[in-house]
Amino acid sequence: MRYGIFSDVHGNLEALKAVLKAYETENIDEYICLGDMVGYGANPRECLALVRDTCSHVIAGNHDFAAVGKTDVTYFNSNARAAVEWTARQLTEEDKAYILSLDIMVVKTDAIFVHASLDKPDKWNYILDPITVYKNFMLLDRPLCFIGHSHIPCVFLDEERVEFVSRREISHTFKPGDRYIINVGSVGQPRDNDPMSSFCIYDAVAREISIKRVPYDIDNAQRKILEAGLPEILALRLVHGE
């Protein structure tokens, strides 16, 4: 079984199409989206529809729930809040009902899929520092946990030694008995100083994980953000991957 796992599309249709095109050569059996289909980008409805049509499992992210009033936006910065408010005005009642129906976690035999964190998943905590990594490993009762949210692709290995792997592209073979937390990065707004979209492939038979990058039409994504009247920084940051 080969899974295509991606996250944080954020209304960036150009990036999403590029990732799905790249997946076409990867013999994917099942797609899973780890949330934040909307927010920041200018095509929330189109991205929502494409993810819905493509994925067998879709998990809610904080921007998804914020756009339908299920997550408080007071902790969002002003640019993120403006994007959420704009996004909410674009969504239809059907779009909103679909988002409200989403779970915040999916559990399979060998893996857990969640947008942000196993520790209070509805509070949207980040897994970045050693303390939060350790707390999440204490809650992990499967070999694997796949997350998004920080927009930074990386792999954490086992709470006993918490090895950390982060680079432009990652390829890793799992060892029996070890546990892993894998951040698949972001499709629509990478933040690791690489503007290319990030996406993940998990081969359950070979026990291999790959995080790959693909370029997309940043200029067009930027143009649409500016034409929509969204904050300029949301367009400018795309070219820098930050």
Domains of the chain in sequence order: 2-239 (3.60.21.10)
Positions in the chain short of pLDDT 70: 159-167
- What is the SS3 assignment for 182? strand
E strand segments, 46-85: 57-58
Using CA atoms, how far residue 53 sits from 31, 48, 88, 92, in Å, is: 10, 9, 21, 17
Distance CA 178, CA 9 (A): 30
Q: What is the DSSP letter of 39?
A: S
CA angle 55, 22, 92 (to 5 degrees): 40
Residue 74 burial class via C-beta count within 10 angstroms: exposed 0-12, middle 13-18, buried 19 and up: exposed
Q: Which of 112, 115, 106 has its CA nearest to residue 140? A: 112
> What pLDDT shows up at residue 239?
96
Task: Look at strands 197-203 and 180-183 and give their pairing.
Answer: unpaired
Using CA atoms, how far residue 95 sits from 67, 106, 199, 233, in Å, is: 10, 21, 24, 26
Residue 97 burial class via C-beta count within 10 angstroms: exposed 0-12, middle 13-18, buried 19 and up: exposed
The structure tokens listed for 235 are 């367009």
The structure tokens listed for 1 are 């079984």
Half-sphere exposure in the Cβ direction for 25 (13 Å, CA): 6
Q: Model confidence over 184-233: pLDDT tens digits?
A: 999 999 999 999 999 999 999 999 999 999 999 999 999 999 999 999 99
Q: Which of 116, 197, 176, 114 has its CA nearest to residue 150? A: 116
The CA-based diameter of the chain, rounded to the nearest angstrom, is 51
Give the torsion through C-alpha atoms of 198, 24, 205, 174, to 10 deg.
-20
